[in-house]
C-alpha cells in the first residue's frame, strides 16, 4: 500500500495518521455514488476527519489538482473523458473506481448491445450532434488500483475501505455471494416467490439490500469469486424464467458481460429462444 507524506493530529493507538489529499471525479453517471457519501450524516464528520478532500463537486466549490487518491465515478463514453481519465491517473497515487459504472460500465453499457451506435444516437438524440461512444469501465483505459462495487455504493463499505487505506492495511472484499447475507437476515428466498435473483452469484457487501426489500438481486456488484453462473442459469430455466428475462438481468450492470457473451454465442447470435 502506498504511503502518504502529510500527517495530522489524528492518531490510531498513538500512531499519527496520514490524511491523504483526495479528489472525487465523475464521468458519465448519475453521480448517485458521490451523493451516498453525503447521505449518512451520523458518521460524515468522522469520515471527513480521515481525509483532506481537495475536490468534490457535489459538496464543495473549491477545487485543486494536488491530490493523492482519486475516486472516479461513471463510465467512459466520450473521447474527452478518456483524456481526462488518463490525466487523473497521471496525477494520483491511487485511483479508485467508484460504483458499478466505473467498475463494469454500469447501466450505461446497455446501449452497447445494440451494436449500432449511429442508430442509438439517432433514436436517443435525434438530429442533435452528440459525441458518444460505447460505454466502458475505467479499467479499459487505465490501471485501476481499487474497485468499490455497487449501484449505488454502500457508504459503510466505503468508510471501511478508506480507513484501511489510511491505516495502510490491505483492503479486502467479501469472498462470498449476496445469498449468504440474505440467509443471515432470514429472508424468504425470492426463487420461492417466483422472482429471478442473481444473489447466488453476485459478490456480497451490500447486506442484501434488494432481496431484503423483496426485489431479486440484479448483480450490480459483479460476480462473486467462483460464481457458478452455468448452474444458476439452469436453475432459473427450470423454474420457468425465460432466457430473455435472465439475459436482461445479467446484462443490466455489465459485471457478467463475459458469461453473457458466451451464453449468446451458445444459444444464438442474439440470445433469443
Residue 125: inside a domain, yes or no?
Answer: yes
Residues 153 and 196 in one domain: no
Residue 95: inside a domain, yes or no?
Answer: yes
Residue 172: inside a domain, yes or no?
Answer: no
Is pLDDT larger for residue 32 or for residue 166?
32
Residues 43 and 123 in one domain: yes
Cα–Cα distance measured from residue 167 to residue 156, given in angstroms and rounded to the nearest whole number: 17
**How many alpha carbons lie under 13 Å from residue 186 in its C-beta half-sphere?**
0
Residues 51 and 159 in one domain: yes
- Return the bridge partners of 177, or none: 203
Residue 273: inside a domain, yes or no?
Answer: no
Cα–Cα distance measured from residue 206 to residue 143, given in angstroms and rounded to the nearest whole number: 25
What value does the mean pLDDT take over residues 93-118? Answer: 94
Residue 6: CB atoms within 10 A of its CB come to: 10
Cα–Cα distance measured from residue 48 to residue 185, given in angstroms and rounded to the nearest whole number: 31
Give the structural domain span for 243. Answer: 178-267
pLDDT per residue as tens digits for the range 188-235: 999 999 899 999 999 999 999 999 999 999 999 999 999 999 999 999
Residue 130: inside a domain, yes or no?
Answer: yes
Residue 22: inside a domain, yes or no?
Answer: yes
Cα–Cα distance measured from residue 11 to residue 91, given in angstroms and rounded to the nearest whole number: 27
Residues 218 and 150 in one domain: no
Closest CA to 197 of 216, 179, 224, 213: 216
Residues 29 and 128 in one domain: yes
Closest CA to 259 of 221, 223, 217: 223
Residue at which a domain ends, from 167, 197, 219 = 167
Is pLDDT larger for residue 11 or for residue 70?
70
Residue 220: CB atoms within 10 A of its CB come to: 28
Cα–Cα distance measured from residue 124 to residue 132, given in angstroms and rounded to the nearest whole number: 11
pLDDT per residue as tens digits for the range 226-271: 999 999 999 999 999 998 899 999 999 999 998 888 888 876 654 4
* Strand, coil or helix: 175: coil
pTM here? 0.89
Residues 143 and 59 in one domain: yes
Residue 122: inside a domain, yes or no?
Answer: yes
Residues 125 and 205 in one domain: no
Residue 173: inside a domain, yes or no?
Answer: no
Residues 124 and 199 in one domain: no
Residues 48 and 152 in one domain: yes
Residue 11 confidence (pLDDT): 59
Amino acid at each position: 500500500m502506498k504511503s502518504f507524506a502529510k500527517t495530522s493530529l489524528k492518531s490510531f493507538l498513538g500512531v499519527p495518521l496520514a490524511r491523504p489529499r483526495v479528489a472525487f471525479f465523475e464521468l458519465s453517471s448519475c453521480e448517485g455514488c458521490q451523493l451516498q457519501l453525503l447521505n449518512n450524516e451520523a458518521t460524515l464528520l468522522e469520515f471527513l476527519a480521515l481525509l483532506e478532500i481537495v475536490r468534490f463537486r457535489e459538496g464543495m466549490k473549491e477545487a485543486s489538482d494536488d491530490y493523492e487518491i482519486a475516486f472516479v465515478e461513471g463510465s467512459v463514453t466520450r473521447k474527452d473523458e478518456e483524456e481526462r481519465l488518463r490525466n487523473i491517473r497521471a496525477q494520483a497515487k491511487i485511483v479508485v473506481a467508484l460504483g458499478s459504472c466505473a467498475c463494469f460500465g454500469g447501466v450505461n453499457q446497455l446501449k452497447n448491445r445494440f451494436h449500432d451506435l449511429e442508430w442509438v444516437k439517432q433514436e436517443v438524440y435525434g438530429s442533435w450532434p452528440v459525441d458518444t461512444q460505447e460505454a466502458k469501465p475505467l479499467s479499459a483505459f487505465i490501471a485501476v488500483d481499487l474497485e468499490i462495487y455497487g449501484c449505488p455504493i454502500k457508504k459503510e463499505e466505503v468508510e471501511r475501505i478508506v480507513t484501511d487505506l489510511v491505516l495502510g492495511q490491505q483492503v479486502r472484499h467479501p469472498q462470498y455471494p449476496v445469498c449468504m447475507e440474505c440467509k443471515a437476515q432470514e429472508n424468504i428466498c425470492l426463487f420461492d416467490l417466483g422472482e429471478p435473483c442473481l444473489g447466488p452469484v453476485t459478490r456480497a457487501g451490500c447486506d442484501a439490500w434488494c432481496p431484503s426489500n423483496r426485489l431479486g438481486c440484479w448483480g450490480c456488484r459483479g460476480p462473486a469469486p467462483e460464481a457458478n453462473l452455468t448452474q444458476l442459469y439452469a436453475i432459473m430455466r427450470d423454474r420457468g424464467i425465460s432466457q430473455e428475462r435472465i439475459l436482461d438481468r445479467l446484462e443490466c450492470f455489465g459485471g457478467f458481460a463475459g458469461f453473457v457473451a458466451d451464453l449468446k454465442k451458445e444459444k444464438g447470435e442474439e440470445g433469443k429462444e
